[in-house]
Structure 1
Amino acid sequence: MPLSDIQAKLLIVDDLPENLLALEALIKRDDRIVYKALSADEALSLLLQHEFAMAILDVQMPGMNGFELAEMMRGTDRTKNIPIVFVSAAGREMNYAFKGYESGAVDFLHKPLDIHAVKSKVNVFVDLYRQSKAVQRQVEALERSRREQEVLLAQLQQTQVELEHAVRMRDDFMSIVSHEVRTPLNGLILETQLRKMHLARDNTAAFTKDKLEAMVDRDERQIQSLIRLIEDMLDVSRIRTGKLSIRPSEFDLSQLVANLLEVFSPQISAAQASISFSAAQPVVGQWDEFRIEQVISNLLTNALRYGAQKPIDVAVYSEEGYAVVQVRDQGIGISQENQQRIFQQFERVSGSHVVSGLGLGLFISEQIVAAHSGKIEVHSELGEGALFKVCLPLVQKT
């Protein structure tokens, strides 16, 4: 901003109106505003309202004189740095100039005033004021810039932390995916190589009906494992892009869980576990049947995986406007710290044994339940098993 654009305010104080008008005519310009006061009290009122580039004070005024007004100005933080010029009609023998300088004046003028001297002095103080304001604005601009740079630096540091975390997650994810995908693929490759070997040896006895059924079952399990991995990754992509679709239809949650437990019979037997199921009555609501089945399947899978071959309790009931599915195991349990992590992506609480999967099941389940305006809770202590509760509103919010 050019210095000329900085407006300067000037204060002139004299008890005679004609003196004020004459002085105003001398110093007034388009880029300045002149405020006039007929008394020290009036001047004090103006000083409280405006920031002045300089003040020209008449010494001899009734009531509070110019020297007393100057001393008050010097004693106040708001006005102590305003340059003061005294004017007086008294002769030089009165020694007013010395007293004026003692009161903090920067100059002393005798009446009748020298027109050129007055204009020159006012120009000097106005220029000094404008330069001071320009420097002040530059300092303020630099301070704003510094604060903005600090904020930007903090944002960049936060972004760097997030990027580093994302890179670690990516590396962990790729490591898990490569391991999890390799397992069913290795099974399929071994099966294929075994069959090729039998065919090369013309060993048709290896392809009896019972043996073919066993081969097909093994292939199907490996293929289903790959499909689940792919579906989990697709669901994460849908969640991230906000495209996880929910298609509600009316169904009985108790019946869905009962049917699902029948489907899980082979896994229950393989895990050498037992499951008890209780559902006092039908619990009917409007939910996405496929997605809710996906959630319950994840909870059952985890209960079998971490349940230490101990009994698992499953219950369906309604409570305070919610349909509740409860899955309780008596396995290794989950620490308080890990309870905050298990619903995050790629998190797997392994305890003392190796687990499979991408660590996406609970993350996806929580997102599905949230999309139904519901909630999923976990209650657990290490070594005391875990209780998972899925709560779905019986009446969907519109």
Structure 2
Amino acid sequence: MYAENFTKLLIVDDLPENLMALNEIIKQKDRIVYQATSGEDALMLLLQHEFALAILDVTMPGMDGFELAELMRGTERTRHIPIVFVSAAGKELNYAFKGYETGAVDFLHKPLDIAAVKSKVNVFVSLYQQRNEVKRQVEALEKSRQELHATQVELQRSLRMRDDFMSMVAHELRTPLNTLFLETQMRKMQLEKSNMEAFNEEKLQRMVARDGRQIQSMIRLIDDMVDVSRIRSGKLSIRPIETELSDLLQRIVSDLSHQAAAAGTDITLDANKISSGTWDEFRVEQIIINLLTNALRYGGGKPVKVMLEANPVYAEVTVRDQGNGITAADQHRIFEPFERAGTKTGAGLGLGLYIARQLAEAHGGSLTVDSTYGEGAAFRLRLPFQ
């Protein structure tokens, strides 16, 4: 049985033989009986332990039982402990009356009635145990109440996130779908008018390009939702192959050059060192495209810089923009799902950085941001070679 499961009793008497006799009367397997031969020793024990009952001898040299009782009643830690006085003095001294005045719950005269002592101690021990059990149950109920409240708060948050998510999905899908619908309506109208000039090679190529952009937008949206589902279910797959980061970065920057031009800016690349590692090339590309897309979106039309550095432990890709930057409060939040820096408006579901960080960590790496508001932002992707 652990010590905290024992009920502790304190007996105080200046005569060791009295302590021994009383100990034999009240001891049981589920109790620990502490003994003190003076009031001073008793006070030390009272400061160290929680007792169910204190049995005090009245007449002791130095601090007597009444003085000890008064000190106990004057201290918050010990004032609740029941006190039983024991005295060999005759009843004519009226010690019992003084004992009750100091807060005692009972007064016993020597020689002790063994059966009466056992019965009284059993009552106080039982009361103490019942009180502790009630306290434990109250604490358990309070803990359950707090847990239930926390669960309700989390459930409400989840419901709000679900509703917000469905609203955002509907909005994000509606934009490309509306564009495609309007395009088809325009083409239908041209066909009904037999205006085949509207479908010459040059115009047809532009139509196909516009359709492709809208379809790709919906595909990216669906891919993001699938990735989030895989992340949360622990089924996100990583397929490492030998990957050369410098070549990968050059290809990504080249592919995004038209998007950069449309945003009125350009992307510069500093990646002359060969850095090869075993990573999932598709997933690493997904991370970097996300960072560059964000840099072009929030970079204020200013140049975006991509840098590749390496040491013996990891390769580091930094994407730096010169936009408004990210506040300290937002720097943690932007990596949560369905969040964006500083605003709830804008393109996308706010999943990109969340997915990117999860993909980085799935490689054993990290994705962090360093930003001072008003001075742009630098996102750093670290990928360990091993």
Calculate the TM-score normalised by the size of structure 1. Answer: 0.74
Alignment correspondent of 1:391: 382
CA distance 1:72–1:329, shift in 2 (3 Å): same
Which whole-Å CA distance do the structure 1 matches of 2:257 and 2:27 have between them? Answer: 94
- 1:219 deviates by 1.2
Q: Could you say what secondary structure the match of 1:296 adopts?
A: helix
- 2:354 matched to 1:363? yes
CA distance 1:72–1:183, shift in 2 (3 Å): same
Alignment correspondent of 1:98: 92
- 1:290 deviates by 0.4
- 1:52 deviates by 8.3
CA distance 1:213–1:29, shift in 2 (3 Å): closer
CA distance 1:30–1:219, shift in 2 (3 Å): closer
Q: 1:235 aligns with which of 207, 227, 239?
A: 227
Q: Could you say what secondary structure the match of 1:343 adopts?
A: coil
Query: Do the aligned partners of 1:239 and 1:367 also contact (CA within 8 Å) in 2?
Result: yes
Q: 1:81 aligns with which of 74, 80, 83?
A: 83
Alignment correspondent of 1:217: 209
Query: Do the aligned partners of 1:54 and 1:125 also contact (CA within 8 Å) in 2?
Result: no
Larger Rg: 1
Which whole-Å CA distance do the structure 1 matches of 2:190 and 2:144 have between them? Answer: 67
Query: Do the aligned partners of 1:311 and 1:330 also contact (CA within 8 Å) in 2?
Result: yes
Number of positions where the alignment pairs a residue of Structure 1 with one of Structure 2? 349
Stretch of structure 1 that moved more, 269-278 or 221-230:
269-278
Alignment correspondent of 2:279: 287
CA distance 1:135–1:283, shift in 2 (3 Å): same
Matches within 5 A, 1:148-159: 148-159=140-151
Alignment correspondent of 1:20: none
- 2:181 matched to 1:179? no
Which whole-Å CA distance do the structure 1 matches of 2:262 and 2:107 have between them? Answer: 99
Query: Do the aligned partners of 1:53 and 1:129 also contact (CA within 8 Å) in 2?
Result: no
Alignment correspondent of 1:60: none
Q: What residue identity is the alignment partner of 1:232? A: D
Which whole-Å CA distance do the structure 2 matches of 1:185 and 1:165 have between them? Answer: 30
Query: Do the aligned partners of 1:334 and 1:382 also contact (CA within 8 Å) in 2?
Result: yes
CA distance 1:296–1:51, shift in 2 (3 Å): closer
Q: Could you say what secondary structure the match of 1:82 adopts?
A: strand
CA distance 1:350–1:136, shift in 2 (3 Å): closer
Alignment correspondent of 2:162: 170
Matches within 5 A, 1:33-182: 68=60, 72-76=64-68, 81-84=83-86, 86=88, 96-99=90-93, 101=95, 106=107, 122-182=114-174
Which whole-Å CA distance do the structure 2 matches of 1:137 and 1:239 have between them? Answer: 49
- 1:129 deviates by 2.8
- 2:262 matched to 1:270? yes
Which whole-Å CA distance do the structure 1 matches of 2:215 and 2:93 have between them? Answer: 103
Aligned alpha-carbon RMSD (Å)? 4.2
Which whole-Å CA distance do the structure 1 matches of 2:28 and 2:144 have between them? Answer: 39
Q: What residue identity is the alignment partner of 1:261? A: V
Alignment correspondent of 1:382: 373
Structure 2 residue runs without a partner (length 5+) = 1-5, 30-35, 46-50, 73-80, 100-105
- 1:31 deviates by 8.9
Q: Could you say what secondary structure the match of 2:319 adopts?
A: strand
Alignment correspondent of 2:199: 207
Q: 2:299 aligns with which of 291, 307, 325?
A: 307
Alignment correspondent of 1:63: none
Q: Could you say what secondary structure the match of 2:185 adopts?
A: helix
- 1:379 deviates by 1.8
Calculate the TM-score normalised by the size of structure 2. Answer: 0.76
Structure 1 residue runs without a partner (length 5+) = 1-5, 18-22, 33-39, 58-65, 88-95
Q: Could you say what secondary structure the match of 2:148 adopts?
A: helix
- 1:266 deviates by 2.1
Which whole-Å CA distance do the structure 2 matches of 1:125 and 1:251 have between them? Answer: 84
- 1:247 deviates by 1.1
